[in-house]
Structure 1
Amino acid sequence: MVPHGRPQRSEDGHEPDPADRPRRERARAATIDEIKQTAFALMRERGTVDVRFTDIARVMDMTPPALYRYFADRDELVSALISDAYEALGTAVAKARAQVPPGDVAAAFVAACQAYRRWAHEEPQQFALILGMPLPDYAAPEDGSTSEAAGRAMAQLSSLFVEALQLGRLAPPRITEVDPAVELCAQAKHEKHEIGVDPAHFQAMLHAWASLHGFTSLEANGHFAWMDEEARDALFLGQLRLAAEAAGLPVT
């Protein structure tokens, strides 16, 4: 039995240094970050979102089994990458919104959408990982860590509707009829996240996001490459104006 109040000695008879644990934790955190950054670097290099432990281990001069000390399997690593990507997207949108004067919902909507589009252009692999085609054989975690990160990122857009409502600047959406199936989705979201708007505006939020994401995805996949940058920018701003008007948001 170890005497009360005395630290347990290690097998070599020495008492553990209290500083060792934080040092080990920092080293582990640094290795985990290096694994994730290596995975993203391989995605960028190869133009794919699929990663393998063997490739990561080779780049890091590790053995593949050593990676299992940090991630249980590839799915756990992918889940961490997805969560990080959503957090990065949410941060980018939040920073853009912070540059807009408080209460200017119209400008905030444009800034948020431009940040979304810019991030997709700057981080094509992360964008494809979270908002592109599903990764083959990947199963999202049951604890919902990836969906929670997604919710925080998307809240940067949905909160604009709540802000407009609170300021008395949210007009009725262009489409007010809501299918019962969509209304059930709105109710479920409200019960979980208290979305703060009626079903018609919940539907309008989805329409606005679909419009933003549709343009961004088409551009990210090269379908607007035949247009010059100035034309694409003008088309994008027109798309945002159309989406805002249809959703009942104030327009710049």
Structure 2
Amino acid sequence: MTAEPAMSRRERTRSATLDEIKSTARELMHEQGSTDVRFTDIARAMGLSAPALYRYFDDRDELISALISDGFDSLGAAVAAASAPIDDADILGRWVAAAGAYRDWARDEPQRFALVLGMPVPGYSEPTEGMTTEAASRAMSQLSALFVAAAERGELRPPLIREASPELAVCQELKHEGQAELLPPESFQALLQTWAMLHGLVSLEVNGNLDWLTPQARDELFLSQVRLAALTAGLADPAA
């Protein structure tokens, strides 16, 4: 393999400044408890003028897009690292590990979680394609990979709900061309429902709606929800 050429001093300086702008924006989001960060606030925290930031990002939307892309990549890396040590044949174990990592990342990074999978940032217009959608696809494809792996091993059981709208099959083909050969529409629907069950409970917890439960109760509720999702979707054997 041909090694990539080393960056020049100017390129290294620019890359470091880009990273500093993004890390400053994340710190401000954390301090403010909001994803609605402004160029003027970032520039002030860095000791720069607001116009100076436009040498690195065309506008705030481009910065937010970069932060969302980084957030999805961070989430995807956490999920991948958690499930990697689990034997490939242990589909349920990989799902439990991945779900736990999803939860842990969201609790550790509540503002980034809100940024990538929460309410829209005020005034932000997300591009219909590009870095954010590609990063989201990379991160979320890990769940579909579990379903595909289970199907390839002949271990994906019919989901509890087997009636699926024909529209879902159309959407599946548009987003995951060729996947229907392994995942019928009802299993694709179950995949989406599995993510919804995971994300819904994690969102309730991250937003403090489950604070009335003890930490142990929240842990046990989460594990039962993860198991319920697997049973409903056909990832686990009901008799096990």
**TM-score for both structures, normalised by structure 1:** 0.89
Q: Which amino acid aligns with 1:220?
A: V
Q: For 1:121 and 1:237, how far apart are their aligned partners in 2?
A: 16
Q: Which amino acid aligns with 1:144?
A: G
The equivalent position to 1:209 in structure 2, one of 186, 195, 205, is 195
Displacement, 1:227?
0.5
Q: Which amino acid aligns with 1:140?
A: E
The residue number in structure 2 matching 1:117 is 103
Displacement, 1:142?
4.4
Q: Which amino acid aligns with 1:106?
A: L
Q: For 1:217-236, what aligned pairs fall within 5 Å after superposition?
A: 217-236=203-222
- Larger mean CA deviation between 117-126 and 175-184 belongs to 175-184
SS at match of 2:157: coil
How many percent identity over aligned positions?
56
The residue number in structure 1 matching 2:117 is 131
Q: Which amino acid aligns with 1:102?
A: D
Displacement, 1:111?
0.2
Unaligned runs of 5+ in 1: 1-18
Displacement, 1:20?
11
Q: Give the conservation status (yes or no) of the 8 Å contact 2:73–2:139.
A: yes
Q: For 1:155 and 1:130, how far apart are their aligned partners in 2?
A: 15
The equivalent position to 1:148 in structure 2, one of 134, 148, 164, is 134
Structure number with larger C-alpha Rg: 1
The alignment yields a C-alpha RMSD, in angstroms, of 1.7
> Does 1:46 pair with 2:32?
yes
Q: For 1:121 and 1:26, how far apart are their aligned partners in 2?
A: 33
Displacement, 1:102?
2.2
Q: For 1:145-224, what aligned pairs fall within 5 Å after superposition?
A: 145-191=131-177, 194=179, 196-224=182-210
Q: Which amino acid aligns with 2:64?
A: V
- Equivalent pairs counted in the alignment come to 233
The residue number in structure 2 matching 1:246 is 232
1:117-144: CA deviation from partner (whole Å, max 9, x where unpaired): 0000000000000111111221112442
Displacement, 1:163?
0.6
Q: For 1:44 and 1:155, how far apart are their aligned partners in 2?
A: 28
1:15-35: CA deviation from partner (whole Å, max 9, x where unpaired): xxxx99711001000000000
CA spacing shift, 1:65–1:123, aligned 2, 3 Å:
same
Q: Which amino acid aligns with 1:65?
A: P
The residue number in structure 1 matching 2:94 is 108
Q: Give the conservation status (yes or no) of the 8 Å contact 2:173–2:179.
A: no
> Does 1:80 pair with 2:31?
no
Q: For 1:50 and 1:78, how far apart are their aligned partners in 2?
A: 9
Q: Which amino acid aligns with 2:20?
A: E
SS at match of 2:63: helix
Unaligned runs of 5+ in 2: none
Q: For 1:233 and 1:123, how far apart are their aligned partners in 2?
A: 18
**Structure 1 runs of 4+ with >3 Å offset:** 193-196
Q: For 2:176 and 2:103, how far apart are their aligned partners in 1?
A: 27
Q: Which amino acid aligns with 2:80?
A: A
The residue number in structure 2 matching 1:29 is 15
SS at match of 1:59: helix
